[in-house]
Chains A and B, each alone.
Chain A
Amino acid sequence: MTDEIEVIGEVIESSTTEFVAESKELHSPAPFGSFVKVGMGEVAPATGGQQPNMDDPFDSFRQSAGTFNSTYRDEAGETTAPAIYAIIYGANTGPVDTGRKLRAYWKGETELEVVNPEIGEWLLVTNFRALVVGYCANNSVCRFLPPQPPKLLTPVYPCSPAEVRRLTDRMDFLRTIVNFTGAPVEELLAACIRNAMAQYPEDRRNDFVVSAGKELAALLRDDYDRLHAIIRRIAP
Chain B
Amino acid sequence: MSQEYPGPTERRREIGQIVSGSLTEGLQMKLCPEESVEDVRAGKFVVVDGQKNEFFSMITDVVLSTSAKGLIGNPPARDDELMRSVLSGTTTYGTVALRPNLMLPKDSADDGEPDLRPVKTIPGHFSAVYSADARDVNRIFGDETKDSKYFNIGTPLDMDDIPVCLNLERFVERSNGIFGKSGTGKTFLTRIVLCGIIKNQRAVNLIFDMHSEYGWKGSYEGDRAEVRGLKQYFREKVAVFTLDPESSRRREAPVDFAVKIPYSQITAEDIILLQNELNLTSTALETSYALVNRFRDGGWISGLLRMDADDMKDFCDTNNVNQAALAALQRKIRVLAESCKSFLVDDGAGGAEDDAVKKIMSYLEAGNHVVLEFGQHTQPLRYMLVANILTRRIHENYVRKKEESLGGKGGEPRPLVITIEEAHKFLSPSLANQTIFGTIAREMRKYNVTLLVVDQRPSGIDGEILSQVGTKITCLLNDDKDIDAVLTGVSNASGLRGIMASLDSKQQALILGHAVPMPIVVKTRHYDDEAFRGSMMESKRSDDEIRKDMDSDFA
B-binding residues in A (CB < 8 A): 209-210, 213-214, 216-218, 221-225, 227-228, 231-232, 234-235
Q: Are A217 and B76 in contact (CB under 8 A)?
A: no
Extra A-B contacts (10), CB below 8 Å, given A231-B83, A231-B86: A209-B82, A210-B86, A214-B90, A221-B90, A223-B68, A224-B69, A225-B70, A227-B91, A231-B82, A232-B83
Q: Are A221 and B91 in contact (CB under 8 A)?
A: yes
Q: Are A217 and B69 in contact (CB under 8 A)?
A: no
Q: Are A235 and B82 in contact (CB under 8 A)?
A: yes
Tell which of B33, B80, B86 touches A216, judged by Cβ atoms closer than 8 Å: B86
- Helix, strand, loop or mixed for chain A's interface? helix
Closest to B69 in A: A224
B535 on interface, CB distance cutoff 8 Å: no
Enumerate chain B residues within 8 angstroms of A210, measured Cβ to Cβ. 82, 85-86
B87 on interface, CB distance cutoff 8 Å: yes
Q: Are B74 and A224 in contact (CB under 8 A)?
A: yes
Q: Are A235 and B80 in contact (CB under 8 A)?
A: yes
Enumerate chain A residues within 8 angstroms of B69, measured Cβ to Cβ. 222, 224
A-binding residues in B (CB < 8 A): 33, 67-71, 74, 76, 80, 82-83, 85-87, 89-91
Tell which of A214, A224, A231, A234 touches B89, judged by Cβ atoms closer than 8 Å: A214
Of the listed residues A209, A223, A224, A227, the one surrounded by the most CB atoms of chain B closer than 10 A to its CB is A224
Instruction: Name the distance in Å between B447's Cβ and chain A's nearest Cβ.
Output: 65
Closest to A230 in B: B86
Q: How far is the CA of A214 from the CA of B68 in the complex (A)?
A: 13
- List 18 contacting pairs A-B, 8 Å CB cutoff, sorted by A: A210-B82, A210-B85, A213-B82, A213-B85, A213-B86, A216-B86, A217-B90, A218-B90, A222-B69, A224-B71, A224-B91, A225-B70, A227-B91, A228-B74, A231-B80, A231-B83, A232-B83, A235-B82
Enumerate chain B residues within 8 angstroms of A217, measured Cβ to Cβ. 86-87, 90-91
Q: Are A222 and B86 in contact (CB under 8 A)?
A: no
Closest to A231 in B: B83
Enumerate chain B residues within 8 angstroms of A232, measured Cβ to Cβ. 83
Closest to B70 in A: A224
Enumerate chain B residues within 8 angstroms of A224, measured Cβ to Cβ. 68-71, 74, 91
Q: How far is the CA of A231 from the CA of B69 in the complex (A)?
A: 18
Enumerate chain A residues within 8 angstroms of B89, measured Cβ to Cβ. 214
Closest to A207 in B: B85
Q: Are A214 and B33 in contact (CB under 8 A)?
A: yes
Enumerate chain A residues within 8 angstroms of B82, measured Cβ to Cβ. 209-210, 213, 231, 234-235
Enumerate chain A residues within 8 angstroms of B74, measured Cβ to Cβ. 224-225, 228
Enumerate chain A residues within 8 angstroms of B33, measured Cβ to Cβ. 214
Enumerate chain A residues within 8 angstroms of B87, measured Cβ to Cβ. 217
Q: Are A228 and B67 in contact (CB under 8 A)?
A: no
Q: How far is the CA of A218 from the CA of B68 in the complex (A)?
A: 10
Instruction: Name the distance in Å between A148's Cβ and chain B's nearest Cβ.
Output: 36
Tell which of A213, A221, A234, A235 touches B68, judged by Cβ atoms closer than 8 Å: A221
Closest to A218 in B: B90
Q: How far is the CA of A227 from the CA of B71 in the complex (A)?
A: 10
Enumerate chain B residues within 8 angstroms of A228, measured Cβ to Cβ. 74, 76, 83
Of the listed residues B80, B85, B86, the one surrounded by the most CB atoms of chain A closer than 10 A to its CB is B86
Top 9 closest pairs, chain A to chain B, by CB: A213-B86, A224-B68, A217-B90, A224-B70, A235-B82, A214-B90, A217-B91, A210-B85, A224-B71
Q: How far is the CA of A100 from the CA of B376 in the complex (A)?
A: 113
Enumerate chain B residues within 8 angstroms of A227, measured Cβ to Cβ. 68, 86, 91
Q: How far is the CA of A128 from the CA of B76 in the complex (A)?
A: 36
Q: Are A221 and B67 in contact (CB under 8 A)?
A: yes
Enumerate chain A residues within 8 angstroms of B90, measured Cβ to Cβ. 214, 217-218, 221
Instruction: Name the distance in Å between B288's Cβ and chain A's nearest Cβ.
Output: 76
Closest to A222 in B: B68
Closest to A213 in B: B86
Enumerate chain B residues within 8 angstroms of A234, measured Cβ to Cβ. 82
Q: How far is the CA of A235 from the CA of B83 in the complex (A)?
A: 9
Instruction: Name the distance in Å between A27's Cβ and chain B's nearest Cβ.
Output: 33
Q: How far is the CA of A216 from the CA of B91 in the complex (A)?
A: 10
Enumerate chain B residues within 8 angstroms of A235, measured Cβ to Cβ. 80, 82-83
Q: How far is the CA of A232 from the CA of B76 in the complex (A)?
A: 10
Q: How far is the CA of A210 from the CA of B67 in the complex (A)?
A: 18
Q: How far is the CA of A234 from the CA of B86 in the complex (A)?
A: 12
Closest to A214 in B: B90
Enumerate chain A residues within 8 angstroms of B83, measured Cβ to Cβ. 213, 228, 231-232, 235
Instruction: Name the distance in Å between A210's Cβ and chain B's nearest Cβ.
Output: 5
Instruction: Name the distance in Å between A214's Cβ and chain B's nearest Cβ.
Output: 5
Q: How far is the CA of A231 from the CA of B80 in the complex (A)?
A: 10
Enumerate chain B residues within 8 angstroms of A209, measured Cβ to Cβ. 82
Enumerate chain A residues within 8 angstroms of B67, measured Cβ to Cβ. 221
Q: How far is the CA of A168 from the CA of B265 in the complex (A)?
A: 88
Instruction: Name the distance in Å between A229's Cβ and chain B's nearest Cβ.
Output: 11
Closest to B68 in A: A224
Q: How far is the CA of A65 from the CA of B301 in the complex (A)?
A: 121
Instruction: Name the distance in Å between A46's Cβ and chain B's nearest Cβ.
Output: 46
Instruction: Name the distance in Å between A191's Cβ and chain B's nearest Cβ.
Output: 16
Closest to B83 in A: A231
Enumerate chain A residues within 8 angstroms of B71, measured Cβ to Cβ. 224
Q: How far is the CA of A231 from the CA of B91 in the complex (A)?
A: 14
Q: How far is the CA of A231 from the CA of B68 in the complex (A)?
A: 15
Instruction: Name the distance in Å between B68's Cβ and chain A's nearest Cβ.
Output: 4
Q: How far is the CA of A2 from the CA of B133 in the complex (A)?
A: 50
Instruction: Name the distance in Å between A38's Cβ and chain B's nearest Cβ.
Output: 32
Tell which of B70, B76, B86 touches A214, judged by Cβ atoms closer than 8 Å: B86
Instruction: Name the distance in Å between A153's Cβ and chain B's nearest Cβ.
Output: 42
Closest to B67 in A: A221
Q: How far is the CA of A227 from the CA of B91 in the complex (A)?
A: 10
Closest to B92 in A: A217
Enumerate chain A residues within 8 angstroms of B70, measured Cβ to Cβ. 224-225
Q: How far is the CA of A213 from the CA of B33 in the complex (A)?
A: 13
Closest to A215 in B: B90
Q: How far is the CA of A172 from the CA of B3 in the complex (A)?
A: 25
Instruction: Name the distance in Å between B156's Cβ and chain A's nearest Cβ.
Output: 32
Closest to B89 in A: A214
Enumerate chain A residues within 8 angstroms of B80, measured Cβ to Cβ. 231, 235
Instruction: Name the distance in Å between B117's Cβ and chain A's nearest Cβ.
Output: 38
Enumerate chain A residues within 8 angstroms of B68, measured Cβ to Cβ. 221-224, 227
Instruction: Name the distance in Å between A215's Cβ and chain B's nearest Cβ.
Output: 8
Q: How far is the CA of A209 from the CA of B33 in the complex (A)?
A: 15
Instruction: Name the distance in Å between B239's Cβ and chain A's nearest Cβ.
Output: 67
Enumerate chain B residues within 8 angstroms of A225, measured Cβ to Cβ. 70, 74
Q: How far is the CA of A210 from the CA of B80 in the complex (A)?
A: 12
Q: How far is the CA of A42 from the CA of B279 in the complex (A)?
A: 105
Instruction: Name the distance in Å between B27's Cβ and chain A's nearest Cβ.
Output: 23
Enumerate chain B residues within 8 angstroms of A231, measured Cβ to Cβ. 80, 82-83, 86
Q: How far is the CA of A115 from the CA of B100 in the complex (A)?
A: 84
Instruction: Name the distance in Å between A43's Cβ and chain B's nearest Cβ.
Output: 39
Closest to A236 in B: B82
Enumerate chain A residues within 8 angstroms of B85, measured Cβ to Cβ. 210, 213
Q: How far is the CA of A59 from the CA of B10 in the complex (A)?
A: 58
Q: How far is the CA of A224 from the CA of B87 in the complex (A)?
A: 10
Q: How far is the CA of A221 from the CA of B87 in the complex (A)?
A: 10
Instruction: Name the distance in Å between A236's Cβ and chain B's nearest Cβ.
Output: 9
Q: How far is the CA of A217 from the CA of B33 in the complex (A)?
A: 13
